[in-house]
Amino acid sequence: MSEPVKKEVLIRARKILDEYLNDQNLRKTSERYAVLDELYKLPQDEHIDVESLFLKMRNKEYTISRATVYNSIDLLVECGLVVKHNFKDKNALYEPALTYEHHDHLVCNDCLKIKEFLDPDIENIKERVGLSLGSKIKLHSLVFYGDCTIPNCENLQRKQAV
């Protein structure tokens, strides 16, 4: 697992949220900042669903409602601080946007583990497609789904035990 986000990135994220809330005439609640903080404290390669984030925050003794966590996540996606992913057979998963270097995903059909990767060939295809269709492609989303071939996969064993 990689390191959590650096403090400077969290400070920058809080400033962006400040500006967004000001621009939208929305209240600056401690709960919104707490959700932002907890998301940005995740390891950089971790994806989390809202329910898991809510439970994590409750276990840390935050007094926050499930609805507030859901609404805060939506707000953070809206203002560009969080990236939302919709993978097959999974709830929506989220990761911080300021540390987000574009990457694609492989989701294992068996153990459900998500692996991130960056392949220059895919980036080249994106450029060629954009040129051929007269578009400058800004974003793309690519998810591969495959079957687990890892011997003694810990996640696969956990899934079979359920």
Q: Distance (Å, rounded) from C-alpha 94 to C-alpha 109?
A: 19
Look at residue 139 and tell me if it is in a domain: yes
Strand partners, 83: 95
Q: What CATH code is carried by the domain that includes residue 135?
A: 3.30.1490.190
Binding site feature residues: 102, 104, 108, 111, 123, 140, 148, 153
Q: Which domain CATH number covers 66?
A: 1.10.10.10
- HSE-up of residue 85 (Cα within 13 Å, Cβ side): 26
Number of domains composing the chain: 2
Task: Judge whether 69 and 59 are in contact, CB under 8 Å.
Answer: no
Give the pair of three-digit tokens for residue 109.
Answer: 């059909």
Strands 82-85 and 104-108: unpaired
Residue ranges of the binding site for Zn(2+) = 108, 111, 148, 153
Write out the binding residues for Fe cation: 102, 104, 123, 140
Q: 112: which 2 tokens?
A: 């459900």
Tens of pLDDT along the chain (162 residues) come to 445 557 888 899 999 999 999 999 999 999 999 999 999 998 877 889 999 999 999 999 999 999 999 999 999 999 999 989 888 767 899 988 887 677 788 888 877 788 878 888 988 999 999 999 999 887 777 888 888 887 777 666 555 555
Domain of 125 in residue numbering reads as 104-161
